[in-house]
Amino acid sequence: PAFDPEPGDSGESKAKAAMRRNLTLVQNHVHRSYAPLSRYMRRASAFFGLTGGMNSYTTPVGGVGFGYHFDPSDAFILQVTGSKSWELC
């Protein structure tokens, strides 16, 4: 299900409702709206000589998140809390 905020709505109430339903929140391109992440992304892009983007995935405690899958692009992953089994291929 999609929980897109209405114009002028921060989406906070819909995000909280989604979390109560154990859904994963996906925030694409978070570096575009938060200056510290934007600076980090510019530095990482310059260091690696590659363009990139930054997404955020938040799964509530007890939530499943995404099932087994692969991403069609290279990724650096930073897991802040919790535990998960990762496989690299």
Q: pLDDT truncated to tens, each residue of the chain (89 aa)?
A: 455 556 666 678 888 888 888 888 888 899 999 999 999 999 999 999 999 899 998 888 888 778 787 888 888 888 888 887 777 77
For residue 54, the model assigns a pLDDT of 92
DSSP annotation string for 9-53:
--SHHHHHHHHHTTPPEEETTGGGT-HHHHHHHHHHHHHHT----
d(CA 50, CA 48): 5
For residue 2, the model assigns a pLDDT of 52
Q: Is 8 left (phi over 0), alpha (psi -120 to 50) or beta?
A: left
